[in-house]
Amino acid sequence: MNWKEFFVLDLRKIILLFVLLILSLTITYSGNECSPYSEYSEGVACTDNKGFPFAYYSSYQSMASIDRPIITSYNYYALIPDIVFWYIISAIIIFGYNKLKIQKNERQRNK
């Protein structure tokens, strides 16, 4: 298999890409977990970042007052390398699956 075959768009790779992107959205990690002295408010502020390995969704909430809104931001520039990363991972998984399938078929023919 050469590089063109490895990176060519395939329906299985695209489906796996979207599954991995959705799974990566479920990973939440805190940038500065409930740190005091935030620049936006007095008191304690909590941030949550979503997206792995690059955070492309962030939410911020001040804990000084309950009635303050949650501020969200999207970083579309981080979404592009995230999609590339997960496409490469899906291509590696499909490549490994195809390799195992070919080896299994060769063993069955040799019997």
Residue spans per domain, the chain: 3-110
pLDDT at residue 86 above 60? yes
The encoded tokens of residue 62 equal 């001040």
Radius of gyration over alpha carbons of the chain, in Å?
21
pLDDT in tens, 36-84: 554 554 555 677 777 788 887 777 776 665 666 777 788 888 888 889 9
Strands 35-36 and 57-62: unpaired
The answer to whether the beta carbons of residues 58 and 47 sit under 8 Å apart is: yes
- Beta partners for 72? 59
Could you give the CA distance from residue 77 to residue 98 in angstroms, rounded to a whole number? 32
101 versus 45: the higher-pLDDT residue is 101
